[in-house]
Amino acid sequence: MGTDDVPLDDKAKRMRDLLSSFYSPDPSSTPNVSSKHGALDAINTNSFNADQYMNLLVQKSNLEALLQRHVEMAAEIKNLDTDLQMLVYENYNKFISATDAIKRMKSNIVGMEANMEQLLDKIMSVQSRSDGVNTSLFEKREHIEKLHRTRNLLRKVQFIYDLPARLGKCIKSEAYADAVKFYTGAMPIFKAYGDSSFQDCKRASEEAVAIIVKNLQRKLFSDSESIQARAEAAVLLKQLDFPVDSLKAKLLQKLEQSLGDLQLKTDELENVTVESTDPSKQGKVSDSIRSTPHEASVREFAEAICAYRVIFPDSEKQLITLAQDLVIKHFEMTEQYVKRRISSANLLGVLRTIWTDVLLMDEILCEAVLPDFSLEAAQVAVKQYVASTFTHLLQDISDALLKVNISPKEAAEEFPLQVALEASKKAVLQGSMDVLLDFRQLLDDDLGLLVKLRDFIIDWVQEGFQDFFRALDDRFLLLSGKNNSSSQDNGLTEGTQSEKVLAGLVLVLAQLSVFIEQTAIPRITEEIAASFSGGGVRGYENGPAFVPGEICRIFRSAGEKLLHHYINMSTQRVSTLLRKRFTTPNWVKHKEPREVHMFVDLFLQELEAVGSEVKQILPQGLLRKHRRSDSNGSTTSSRSNPLRDDKMSRSNTHRGRSQLLETHLAKLFKQKVEIFTKVEYTQESVVTTIVKLCLKSLQEFVRLQTFNRSGFQQIQLDIQFLRTPLKETVEDEAAIDFLLDEVIVAASERCLDPIPLEPPILDRLIQAKLAKSKEQNPIAS
């Protein structure tokens, strides 16, 4: 329909105008929409002028617009006729319905007035009869009420006369509550007639009440009575108007003494420990303490506090202190308990019991705010448990490492260092994973106390790992006999090392540091990120609690320090042998050499022991023999062989010293072989570095002595014998050749008559030594 295109407001407005025009008797009462007669929208007003409208419409519109306006007005006229017709039909139906309703009301009202008059007559008749009955029964009613009052009075009098006997029965049965109730009920009568009519009853009752007061006082201060019974006695004394305020301090002291019975006992905590180790009982850990008399004692204590508060309303401050003392004692016992090696299930059982006690006390003494107070105490206990757990983990790792100190004869394993290293790796990685799993149980538990501490626990765990690895680094240095301030030079300083520290332990610590840096820290970091993310209670300004990069740097540095420390210890052990070798004999009076000296065997045995330790711990490297042809520097000694051979062929000391000057001049124009390179975590690199340091130490000991010809030749023979086994041991043959040559040259410089052995003699003595070695050790040959 065309009306659907008209806006809703315009349609409603038009309907109101139609209704107004239909029902309004005065056309002038309808609102004048517009006072402008020349406007095109004035067609709906009462002052509409058709001529002006047409003139205005012709002036403003063209032919096509006039035709369009004609179509629209025809549609509007049709719509208005339809709406007016529907409005008339609807009003007609309403008028018919109203007429029918009026007719029904007239038919129903007919006869109602007669019925109302009959009802009024009946009501008046009932009222008159009721008045007659009341008048006839009035005297009897008054007499009955008087008899009833007399009966009640007689009952009260009888109760008063029977009161002393009743009080006596209550005393015998110890029903003091009933006795107090009877006596307080009779007090108004005694106050009114106690000095006249009921004087004897009052005297007898007071004597009985005096006995009751004594019994209640004795019960109040009896240690055998329960707290609740003593509290009831105090309430009864107060009802008897006894001055119980004087008993306030004594009763409070009794409550304080009862705190000792409410503390968590060590044997109860042990029961938690035993049951928590059984998987089938872990869900009932919290019931292990509450199943004991502990819960009953706490409930009795709570009821006593409630009764005490009723008796002494102004004692709130003392009761709050008392309740807080109970929580403090609980957590003090917990702090002592967590110092042991316990699991998170044990701790959860204890905390759940404490939390139950706190909620029970909070119900009767909410002013103490015990949940918040216990939260502060729980922070200390849980934080101490986290720290204690890391302490035990540190001790486990130390115990695994200390097994290295077992002597080879006592060790049951063939490779004790390797076994100790694997055990230490397991203690670090698996121990850390077990610790994280243990802490995870604290986070997953729904105990209200732990839910509030969740962010704190996450921070404590992260901080704990950071501090744990720092402490582990300090423990490594302590076990190695080396503190943080020790120098880290490659020289052969005569440091004072502890005799109890084995070099093998230091090597295990070095390799364990590498394992922690490369394997343990990344694995622990992943687990912390997965299960212990969040926290942030410590504040972002303090930075992250766990910084794996810093820990990796610490153990990278520790590994390098410990590896160099092992090299120094091994070198110093060999240097002690060399020192004895060169300080014992008189080299100026040395006899002609007849065989390789026995110190060579000892020297090779020490190197073999070092190689055995290294093979158990360190991996093999890419073995690449650094021969003379591979060296970047000179392939000869800093003193050239032609000069040295020429020098050795001279027997004149003056010419020998002149040759020494030429040797130093040649040294200035020669490029040295690179002797000391970076130490790698491989067997070959460590052994080579130790051999180099030992040879350098040997050279220094040679320079401190003065040799005759025989002494010089003995040094030449020993060094020549060492060439072959040392080259088979190390990876840098060029550096070893260079250092061996340096030892011989140093001996020649300190020799009074540096004439070397002839090559045939030298070879014969070496072959004799090799044959002797084969005879003594045929298996090795």
Low-confidence winner among 14-18, 335-339, 404-408 (lowest mean pLDDT)? 404-408
The predicted structure's pLDDT at residue 275 = 45
Is residue 753 a contact partner of residue 647, using CB atoms and an 8 Å limit? no
Q: Would you say residue 413 has pLDDT above 60? A: no
Cβ-count burial of 453 within 10 angstroms (0-12 exposed, 13-18 middle, 19+ buried)? Answer: buried
Low-confidence winner among 14-18, 480-484, 613-617, 635-639 (lowest mean pLDDT)? 635-639
pTM of the model: 0.62
Element (H, E) at 114: helix 112-173
| Cα 66 to chain centroid, rounded | 88
Is residue 255 a contact partner of residue 305, using CB atoms and an 8 Å limit? yes
**Residues across the chain:** 781
Give residue-wise pLDDT tens across range 218-266.
877 776 777 677 778 878 887 877 776 667 777 777 777 777 777 666 5
Give residue-wise pLDDT tens across range 670-706.
445 556 678 888 888 888 888 989 998 888 989 998 9
3-class SS of residue 133: helix
Residue 287 to residue 128: CA distance in whole angstroms: 77
Provide mean pLDDT across the span 444-448.
85
Band of residue 479 on the pLDDT scale cut at 50, 70, 90: confident
The predicted structure's pLDDT at residue 283 = 44
Band of residue 488 on the pLDDT scale cut at 50, 70, 90: very low
Helix, strand, coil percentages (3-state) for the chain, rounded to 5, are 75, 0, 25
Which residue would you say has higher pLDDT here, 365 or 255?
A: 365
Q: Which residues neighbour 714 within 8 Å (Cβ) at sequence distance 6 or greater?
A: 590, 593, 597
The predicted structure's pLDDT at residue 213 = 84
3-class SS of residue 538: coil
Could you report how far apart the first and last alpha carbons of the chain are, in Å?
A: 122
Best-predicted range by mean pLDDT among 141-145, 165-169, 385-389, 398-402? 385-389
DSSP per position, 488-507? --SS-------TT--HHHHH
The predicted structure's pLDDT at residue 84 = 85
Radius of gyration of the chain (CA): 56
Q: Would you say residue 325 has pLDDT above 80? A: yes
The predicted structure's pLDDT at residue 131 = 86
Residue 175 to residue 219: CA distance in whole angstroms: 13
Residue 282 to residue 286: CA distance in whole angstroms: 9
Low-confidence winner among 16-25, 264-273, 440-449, 690-699 (lowest mean pLDDT)? 264-273
Low-confidence winner among 122-126, 220-224, 596-600 (lowest mean pLDDT)? 220-224
Q: Would you say residue 350 has pLDDT above 80? A: yes
Residue 37 to residue 43: CA distance in whole angstroms: 9
Nearest to 755 by CA among 663, 655, 665: 655
The predicted structure's pLDDT at residue 71 = 92
3-class SS of residue 650: coil
Best-predicted range by mean pLDDT among 223-227, 443-447, 544-548? 443-447
Band of residue 519 on the pLDDT scale cut at 50, 70, 90: very high
The predicted structure's pLDDT at residue 490 = 39
The predicted structure's pLDDT at residue 24 = 55
How many percent of the chain have pLDDT more than 70? 76
Residue 447 to residue 445: CA distance in whole angstroms: 6
Strand intervals (E) in 271-414: none
Any idea what DSSP says for residue 751? B
Q: Would you say residue 274 has pLDDT above 70? A: no
How many percent of the chain have pLDDT more than 90? 7
Any idea what DSSP says for residue 530? H
Is residue 702 a contact partner of residue 599, using CB atoms and an 8 Å limit? no
The predicted structure's pLDDT at residue 775 = 81
State phi, psi for 394 to the nearest 5 degrees: -65, -40
Residue 97 to residue 115: CA distance in whole angstroms: 29
The predicted structure's pLDDT at residue 645 = 41
Q: Would you say residue 659 has pLDDT above 50? A: no
| Cα 288 to chain centroid, rounded | 25
Long-range contacts at 163-170 (CB < 8 A, ≥ 24 apart): 163/201, 163/204, 163/205, 164/201, 164/204, 164/205, 164/207, 164/208, 167/205, 167/208, 167/209, 167/212, 168/208, 170/212
State phi, psi for 707 to the nearest 5 degrees: -115, 150
Report residue 507 as tokens. 């090597």
Residue 406 to residue 194: CA distance in whole angstroms: 98
The predicted structure's pLDDT at residue 220 = 73
Residue 436 to residue 422: CA distance in whole angstroms: 21
Is residue 755 a contact partner of residue 714, using CB atoms and an 8 Å limit? no
Strand intervals (E) in 304-400: none
Provide mean pLDDT across the span 143-165.
82
Q: Is the dihedral of CA 741, 742, 747, 748 positive or negative?
A: positive
Residue 584 to residue 280: CA distance in whole angstroms: 73
Amino acid present at 515? F
Residue 736 to residue 762: CA distance in whole angstroms: 20
Q: How many helices (H) and strands (E) does the chain have?
A: 27, 0
Structural domain spans, the chain: 243-268+293-365, 369-481+497-584, 587-620+663-780
Strand partners, 707: 751
Nearest to 380 by CA among 418, 330, 342: 330
Element (H, E) at 26: none
Any idea what DSSP says for residue 162? H
Band of residue 633 on the pLDDT scale cut at 50, 70, 90: very low
Q: Would you say residue 538 has pLDDT above 70? A: no
**Any idea which residue has 């340096």 for tokens?**
742
Provide mean pLDDT across the span 12-30.
59
DSSP per position, 450-465? HHHTHHHHHHHHHHHH
